[in-house]
Amino acid sequence: SQKIEQNSEALNIQEGKTATLTCNYTNYSPAYLQWYRQDPGRGPVFLLLIRENEKEKRKERLKVTFDTTLKQSLFHITASQPADSATYLCASKRVDSSYKLIFGSGTRLLVRP
């Protein structure tokens, strides 16, 4: 069955370093992946969408890559700041319906000052 997986362990890094979060998918080939940020007790906020024919996409300090060979997307935050601390979710279209998304469980990022 379709799976989208993120590392459940929190990522703890020093301010100024680059944070790299991973999203792996199995048993399907998504046409695109979305990345969201979620702060505690709040709804997710959309960050970036990358299509399978795009190797990389950037937005300010954010960069997303999509490797269809490795079945993986990497989400990078450069020059990380304590304000970047949050949970980051990846999502893709469901194989059983073009109208539904499947979400990973998210990876929590902690940026130490």
Residue 33, φ and ψ in degrees, nearest 5:
-130, 145
Residue of 85, 106, 107, 109 that binds other proteins (CB under 8 A): 106
The 3-state DSSP class for residue 83 equals: helix
Check residue 104 for interaction with other proteins (CB under 8 A). Answer: yes
Check residue 93 for interaction with other proteins (CB under 8 A). Answer: yes
Query: How near is the Cβ of 10 to other proteins at its closest, in Å?
Result: 12
Q: Which long-range contacts (CB under 8 A, 24 or more apart) does 96-104 make?
A: 96/2, 101/34, 102/2, 102/4, 103/4, 104/4, 104/5, 104/6, 104/23
Site track 31-70 with other proteins (rule: CB under 8 A), x = hit: xx-x------xxxxxx--x---------------------
Residue of 8, 12, 68, 81 that binds other proteins (CB under 8 A): 8
DSSP 40: T
Which residues of this chain interact with other proteins, rule CB under 8 A?
4, 8, 31-32, 34, 41-46, 49, 89, 91-94, 98-106
